[in-house]
Amino acid sequence: MSLVGLLAVFALAIVIAVFFFGRESLTTVGARFMNALAHGDVDTLTKMSYVGNKPPEEMRKDWEFAVNTAGKYYNFSWKITSSAQADATNASIRLQVIRNLTNPGSYEENYQLPLIKVGDEWKVDVRGINREMYPALPR
């Protein structure tokens, strides 16, 4: 076997290991949640949300109302500024959000997405999001 072939196999093994064993970063989780919120993706929001022992069906109804009724015409932009993990099960994402994007007087405001680890997945603890960030967030 040639040295080039051996290196190619080794590089392929590393790439496969990274994809299979690598965990999703906190910022990726936050970005996925905020993209779902911006696009009204109720399925993703329901899957990524944590609200205590609330059943998924009830959470889905709350998100349906938030994105399709209360926030139907609500425009905002966002960017993640940092993330921090407090311990093995708690973390947070810091965001800058411009609410009411179509208003010329809008400006960047700082918010946080609290994350909680449920099993092997990070979920957004919706109860801890500031209610001013988006209309009718589930409780």
User: Which runs of E-coded beta strand occur in 1-139?
Assistant: 49-50, 77-85, 90-98, 108-118, 121-125
Which pTM was predicted?
0.81
- Percent over 70 (pLDDT), the chain: 84
Three-state secondary-structure class, residue 78 = strand
pLDDT in tens, 101-139: 888 999 999 999 999 999 999 999 999 999 999 999 988
We find that the CATH architecture of domain 26-128 is: Roll (3.10)
**Domain spans of the chain, in order of start:** 26-128
Taking alpha carbons only, the member of 38, 43, 24, 41 closest to residue 95 is 38
Contact between 68 and 135 under an 8 Å Cβ cutoff? The reply is: no
